[in-house]
């Protein structure tokens, strides 16, 4: 039997990139997320009523339409002021998603920047940033966010910044590890030898590679930020009224719990649950897709 074999010509099929991606799309999370995203973007057009004004002609505490006393004019019932629940939920999506997204962007941006600096520059910069990260991680994020919100005063942008400030540490650690290993790669070392400045090396070589990890991390932790925002709203230090926020709706609903007005509690919370669940699933899918070796994030 001969040892040598002539190499077989292997045919390579190149399906279009789009088709390859579409075939793999995670249906469940997208099915959940798309309606919420649409609601957030097109709230003004989709919501049947003004979320801050009582519905004319409707009673307060109207139950959802399938129950006795409900009507199809107010599909999911009304709250203690007679405002339409469905409209408030739709507008609430806007707050939750925007704050969640922006907060994650700020946290991710800060964390990635710190991580890159820490990993690439090394030395005392690394030590200092790592100590800072450790210390920050040791403190209760939400409590701090509450404290900051109370001191600074509520407004949407304040909340976004606060959330970013409080959650950046998760990124810093992971990105730093990534950068440490990237630094040893040959193309980075080549660029350094060729005399490229640190900034250039970072921007051209390190950042693009790190973005994958950052994105996966972002999708996995956006849920935490959304829940944090809802918690802040629930406690009254989130985005101020009259903008409806799901957390705020829950806090308002609390006093009606004993009276059995369950729909005011169940629906906003279910929305939070669904959005967070969807982002988690999406994050898992992204993680496996973009980097199967990073299974331990």
Partner 1 sequence: MRQFIIRRTCYSIITLLILSLTIFSVVRLTGDPVTLMAEPGARAEDLARVRTQWGLDHSWPVQYAHFVQNILAGNLGISFNYRMPVSELYFERLPNSLQLALAATLLSFLIGIPAGLLSAVRVDGAWDQAGKVVALLGLSIPGFWLGLVLILVFSVYLEWLPTGGKNDWRNLVMPSLALGWYFAASLLRLTRSSMLEVMRSEYIKLARLKGLPGYVVIAKHGFKNALVPVLTLAGVNLVVMVNAAVIIEVVFAWPGIGRLLFEGIFQRDFPLVQGVVVLAGIMIVFVNLLIDILYAYIDPRIRLTR
Partner 2 sequence: MSAPLLEVRGLQTHYFSFGGSRIVKAVENVSFVLRKGETLGLVGESGCGKTTTCLSIVGLLPPAARVVGGEIRLNGADLTKKSPREMRRIRGRAIAMILQDPMASLNPLFSIYTQVAEPAYYHLGMRRRPLRQRVQELLRAVRIPSPAMRMRGYPHQMSGGMRQRIVGAIALAGGPKLIIADEPTTNLDVTIQAQYLDLLMDLQQETGVALIFVTHNLGIVAKMCDRMAVMYAGRIVESGAVRDLFSAPKHPYTKALLGSVAKLGSKEPLYAIPGQPPDLARPPTGCAFHPRCADAMPRCATQDPEDVQCGPEWTARCWLPQRAGRGGS
- Site residues, partner 2 (CB under 8 A): 1-3
* Least CB distance to partner 1 at residue 146 (A): 7
Task: Indicate the residue among 71 and 280 with the shorter CB distance to partner 1.
Answer: 280
Q: Tell me the residue length of the chain.
A: 297
Task: Indicate the residue among 115 and 238 with the shorter CB distance to partner 1.
Answer: 238
* Least CB distance to partner 2 at residue 292 (A): 23
Contact yes or no for 266/253 (Cβ under 8 A): no
* Least CB distance to partner 1 at residue 142 (A): 4
Residues that bind partner 1 (CB under 8 A): 131-132, 134-144, 146-148, 150-152, 223, 227, 230-231, 234-237, 250, 253-254, 257-258, 260, 262, 265-266, 268-269, 272-273, 276-277, 280-281
Contact yes or no for 250/140 (Cβ under 8 A): no
Closest CA to 228 of 246, 254, 253: 246
Q: Where does residue 26 rank: exposed (0-12), middle (13-18), buried (19+ CB within 10 A)?
A: middle
- Residue 3 binding result from partner 1, partner 2, none, given CB thresholds of 5 to 8 Å by partner type: partner 2
Closest CA to 257 of 277, 249, 96, 88: 249
Contact yes or no for 205/243 (Cβ under 8 A): no
* Least CB distance to partner 1 at residue 61 (A): 15
- Residue 31 binding result from partner 2, partner 1, none, given CB thresholds of 5 to 8 Å by partner type: none
């Amino acid at each position: 039997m001969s040892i040598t074999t002539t190499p077989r010509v292997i045919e390579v099929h190149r399906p279009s990139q789009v088709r390859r991606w579409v075939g793999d799309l995670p249906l469940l999370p997208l099915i959940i997320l798309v309606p919420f995203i649409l609601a957030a973007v097109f709230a003004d057009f989709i919501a049947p009523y003004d979320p801050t004004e009582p519905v004319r002609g409707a009673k307060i505490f109207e139950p959802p339409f399938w129950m006795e006393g409900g009507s199809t004019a107010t599909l999911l019932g009304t709250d203690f002021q007679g405002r339409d629940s469905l409209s408030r939920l739709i507008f609430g999506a806007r707050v939750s998603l925007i704050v969640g997204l922006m907060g994650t962007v700020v946290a991710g941006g800060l964390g990635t920047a710190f991580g890159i600096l820490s990993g690439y520059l090394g030395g005392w910069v690394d030590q200092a940033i790592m100590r800072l990260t450790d210390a920050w991680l040791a403190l209760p994020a939400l409590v701090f966010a509450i404290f900051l919100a109370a001191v600074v005063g509520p407004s949407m942008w304040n909340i976004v910044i606060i959330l970013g400030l409080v959650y950046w540490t998760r990124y810093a650690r992971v990105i730093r590890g990534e950068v440490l290993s990237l630094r040893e790669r040959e193309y980075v070392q080549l660029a350094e030898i060729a005399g490229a400045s640190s900034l250039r090396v970072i921007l051209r070589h390190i950042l693009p590679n790190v973005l994958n990890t950052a994105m996966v991390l972002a999708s996995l932790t956006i849920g935490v930020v959304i829940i944090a925002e809802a918690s802040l709203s629930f406690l009254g230090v989130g985005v101020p009224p009259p903008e409806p926020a799901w957390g705020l709706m829950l806090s308002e609903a609390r006093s009606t719990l004993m009276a059995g007005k369950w729909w005011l509690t169940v629906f906003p919370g279910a929305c939070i649950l669904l959005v967070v669940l969807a982002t988690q699933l999406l994050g898992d899918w992204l993680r496996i897709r973009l980097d199967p070796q990073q299974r331990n994030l």
